[in-house]
Chains A and B, each alone.
Chain A
Amino acid sequence: MVSQQPDFQSDLEKVNEAFPKIKLNKSENVLPFLEGKIDICDQDGIYWNTFEVKITVPVDYPFGVPRMQEIGNQIERIDDRHIDSDGWCCVAIPHVLEMRAIRGLKIIEYLREFGYPYLVNQVFFQVEGRYAGFEYKHGFAGVIQFYQQLLQTRDIAVIARFLKGYLDGQLPKYLDRCWCRSNRSYRKCHLVAINRLKNLNKKRISFDCIQFERYLSP
């Protein structure tokens, strides 16, 4: 049981230090989850709002991705607020979360790196009517943006080719010309970017690959 592991207990103490109104719920017959309130303060320590949330603890903790649900109905349930009708918050694109979880993602890290900034961004949106920084497009368009940034090319056909090549183990040789038509060798062009795919789950890449093929088919 995750909640009985010594490491998890120490992680929980850190959560309690920074987010003292978040408590572990160990109800029987359900996976452990954290529940409570998060106060939102800005960089100058000014208080803005409090959100009531639940945070799931993945069974493969700390190598799985926690999920946060806003249960106080303070965030309007519309796509533009990056939240679903049940309050599950899309704090980041799943690819980024999964890549981060490969290194181990403790609850306190999830909250500091994803959960808290998401809620602060929601407060920013409430006031300004826009988000403070970059926002992925919804659905597959956002996935395209992710790969464009990760693989450093805007060419969707090239991305699709690289993903398929990576899955099939058929990428260019080091000295071959890069598939992106840059006239440079693969080693000096996209090798480093493609190596980043190692941090992504192959099932995820495989699923995305099918999506890219559908997207590109006439």
Chain B
Amino acid sequence: MDIYKNYLDNIREALTMSTAGNTLNESIDKSFKSEQIRLLADSAQANPMPSLMKLSSEWNLQPALNQKLGLHPDFEYLKKTLGFEEHYIHSMFIDIKRSTNLFKRYSPLVVAIITNTVQRAAIHTCMMFGGYVHRLHGDGTFVYFGGRNQTPKESIHRCLQAASLFSHFMKTDLRGLFEAHNIEPIYTRIGIDYGDDKHVIWTMAGVGEVSEVTTCSLHTSLAPKMQAHAEGNGIVVGDNILKLYPTEFYSPVCHRPGKEKFRYIFTDPDNNFYYTQHDFNWQKFLKASDKIVTNALTGEISIKPKQVLPSATTSALASIASTNRPYYDGEPTA
């Protein structure tokens, strides 16, 4: 997908340079290393790269840029007051798997470029859709969606859009690049859950400067747990998401063959509480969106442009169009 072009280019360059960089010539190796350092710096840009940034105007997004880790701006005040606030939130945990295998073939510097770029693609995608990055756990990223000026429905829609686009990048673009270099693809697993106002409190955790404003909620805790039950490049969501945002794109995780024991992610039999986890079919979700184009011939998807590209010519239309032999069942009108 074009929106991830800059991220993919970074990784491609790192992989190519890594192959070319094992020479016996010290000066050439040094020059490759300085290029790799530049790529590492590129992957650390705070703001989304230009290809992704374009989405902001195309989809009329309001990106949440200039963030501080662990400090959702709507609840920042709690750091000073030491109180708490009840407020809904969507919690999303994105984990990147199999990146350790990259060390078998690449130097720590190249692995850092790859994993940082992938994690930044995840972070930037979330930022574009108004998500707040709360915490980084190694290859994992914890993000909140929602806040005072957004309804839970609006923010879950944006959260699912972000998770779906990023999953598509991992499953299609990055996988293709890795396969072209004969590397075992890395993949993501995502867990998302929603807690309403009654079931989420925001408060400060930690002490002094060793602290963060965070949520205390069963549903925040369940997001990383559900992530562990997702398929490769899959998304698992909690029952609350289903109730808040009903669509045809969910199916209980236990419907996957042999996974019946995974129907509930949390049970409390004493209180007759059984909480179901669901696979979210992000591919169908994206394809059903009016903002996404599906190529009927290949099944590939892309972002729908606001207008036809000026460089497009009709020759590539003609090969399909010429198979049509239209007719009109009426006498010609004068």
Segment with Cβ contacts to A, from B55-63, B132-140, B315-323: B315-323
Q: Say which size band chain A's interface belongs to.
A: 35 or more
- Whether the Cβ atoms of A117 and B312 lie closer than 8 Å is no
Binary per-residue interface labels of chain A (29-54) against chain B in the complex, 1 for a CB within 8 Å, 0 otherwise: 00000000111011111111110000
Kindly report which residue of chain B lies nearest to residue A149, judged by CB atoms. Answer: B325
Please give, as numbers and ranges, the residues of chain B lying within 8 Å of A16 by CB-CB distance: 284
Q: Is A134 an interface residue (CB 8 A)?
A: yes
Q: Is A166 an interface residue (CB 8 A)?
A: no
Count of chain B residues with Cβ under 8 Å from any Cβ of A? 37
Q: Are A20 and B284 in contact (CB under 8 A)?
A: yes
Q: Are A132 and B318 in contact (CB under 8 A)?
A: yes
Given A46-B316, A132-B318: A116 and B328 within 8 A (CB)?
no
Contact B326 A84 (CB under 8 A): no
Taking CB atoms, residues of chain A closer than 8 Å to B300 are 45
Quote the shortest CB–CB distance from B310 to chain A (angstroms). 11
A136 to B325 CA separation, bound complex (whole angstroms): 7
Query: What 0/1 pattern do residues 16 to 52 of B give for CB contact below 8 A with A?
Result: 0000000000000000000000000000000000000
Which residues does chain A contribute within 8 Å of B290, judged by CB atoms?
21, 37
| B296 near A116: Cβ-Cβ < 8 Å | yes
Please tell me which one of the listed residues A39, A46, A135 contacts residue B325 in the complex, with CB atoms under 8 A apart.
Answer: A135
The stretch from B154-162, B196-204, B301-309 touching chain A is: B301-309
From B304, B312, B316, B319, A39 is in contact (CB under 8 Å) with B304
Query: Any chain B CB within 8 A of the CB of A185?
Result: no
Asked if B330 contacts A84 (CB within 8 A), the reply is yes
Q: Is B208 an interface residue (CB 8 A)?
A: no
| A93 and B321 contacting across the interface, CB-CB below 8 Å | no
Nearest CB of B to A139, in Å: 4
Q: In the bound complex, do residue A116 and residue B312 qualify as a contact, i.e. CB atoms below 8 Å apart?
A: no
Interchain CA distance A19-B284 in the complex, whole Å: 11
The minimal Cβ–Cβ distance linking A136 to chain B, given in whole angstroms, is: 4
Known: A42-B320, A128-B314. Is A17-B299 also a contact (CB below 8 A)?
A: yes
How many whole Å from A93's CB to the nearest CB in chain B?
A: 4
Which residues of chain B have a CB within 8 Å of any CB of chain A? 284, 287-288, 290, 293-300, 302, 304-305, 308-309, 312, 314, 316-333
Could you pull out 10 A-B pairs where Cβ atoms are within 8 angstroms? A19-B294, A43-B320, A45-B300, A47-B293, A79-B332, A96-B325, A117-B320, A120-B317, A123-B321, A132-B321
